[in-house]
Amino acid sequence: MTRNERAKFIIEKLGTLYPTTPIPLDHSDAYTLLISVLLSAQCTDVRVNQVTPRLFAMADNPFDMAKLDVDVIKDIIRPCGLSPRKSKAISDLSKILIEQHSGKVPDNFIDLEALPGVGHKTASVVMAQAFGVAAFPVDTHIHRLAYRWCLSNGKNVEKTESDLKKIFPKSIWNKLHLQIIFFGREYCPARGHSSQICPICSNIGRK
The catalytic residue among 45, 104, 139, 165 is 139
Question: Would the CA dihedral through 143, 138, 178, 59 be positive or negative?
Answer: positive
Q: Which CATH code is given to the segment(s) 3-21+135-204?
A: 1.10.1670.10
The catalytic residue among 74, 86, 121, 163 is 121
**Which pLDDT value is given to residue 150?**
92
For 20, residues 6+ apart whose C-beta sits below 8 A from its C-beta are none
Q: Which CATH code is given to the segment(s) 30-129?
A: 1.10.340.30
Q: Is-catalytic flag, 139?
A: yes
> What are the residue ranges in the chain where pLDDT is below 70?
205-207
**Which pLDDT value is given to residue 206?**
58
Total residue count of the chain as it appears in this document: 207
Q: Is-catalytic flag, 121?
A: yes
**Which pLDDT value is given to residue 37?**
98
**Which pLDDT value is given to residue 164?**
97
pTM: 0.92
Q: Is 131 exposed, middle or buried (0-12, 13-18, 19+ CB in 10 A)?
A: middle
112 neighbors 124 (Cβ within 8 angstroms): no
CATH 1.10.1670.10 residue spans of the chain: 3-21+135-204
